[in-house]
Amino acid sequence: MVNEILKSRAHLAARHRLVQCLGSCRKFEPNVGPPPDMRGVRRLKNQQPEAMGRHRKELAAETLSRLGDRSIVMVGLMGCGKTTVGRRLAQSLRLPFVDADTEIERAARMTIPEIFAEHGEAYFRAGERRVIARLLGERRQVLATGGGAFMDPDTRTAIARAGVSIWLRASLDVLMERVMRRDDRPLLKTADPRAKMQALMDERYPIYAEADLVIDSLDHAHDVVVGEALKKLPGAMAGRAT
């Protein structure tokens, strides 16, 4: 009997020590609280693209309001993204997109390399000038021009009168990485295309800087460049009469 009592007391003492230990351990447990409501997190993630979409629509509406009946004209060197960015910008603004080089080829029934080869650059520039003037007088649009178009004083005047110009500025490395994917650049058919591109940058960048808006065309998604254009266009047009 005595032994049973002793065992019972020892068991109760051990149980008491265990309860005390557990109680002290709980004091050091982190207070993590209940698990978060993931439904709220998912709602927030879904709302972010939706909010961005609404903001872009508001910017597009403001741009169109300030634009009036003018066109948006993309200028810059070959490879800067005028066609790709211009097409996506046109989609955001719900405007038609026109590529001046495509229209020149359609009018001449020849490709641009063929025009250069058979008639020379001066002949091509004269036709380019006429085509761009015609396009600017037709309708409101996003118009991508060739790299040399903005160098022509008459074309710059026509663009300033009937459009808002955006220069897509890019570094030499970005331009060369892009243009070397294709073999249809007449001006780069030289022994040193990189040196030729640098010479074009030195010649043309001071003139491109006369554009109404400058957007850096970096080595990232074109949609980012479109977003930058939409953010900056209303401000660029704020002081101009429509």
109-131 pLDDT, tens per residue?
A: 999 989 989 999 899 999 999 99
Check residue 20 and give its pLDDT: 55
Check residue 235 and give its pLDDT: 85
Identity of residue 68: G
How much is the pTM? 0.74
Cα(19)–Cα(13) distance, rounded to whole angstroms?
Answer: 10
**Six token digits for residue 45:** 């993630």
Check residue 99 and give its pLDDT: 96
Going residue by residue through the chain, which has 242 residues, state the pLDDT in tens, using 9 for 90 and above: 444 444 445 554 555 554 454 444 444 344 444 554 555 444 434 444 555 567 788 989 999 989 999 999 999 999 899 999 999 999 999 999 999 999 999 999 999 989 989 999 899 999 999 999 999 999 999 999 999 999 999 999 999 999 999 999 999 999 998 887 777 677 777 888 899 999 999 999 999 999 999 999 877 678 889 999 999 998 888 755 44
148-157 pLDDT, tens per residue?
A: 999 999 999 9
- CA 9 vs CA 4, 12, 23, 89: distances in Å: 9, 5, 21, 84
Cα(40)–Cα(51) distance, rounded to whole angstroms?
Answer: 16
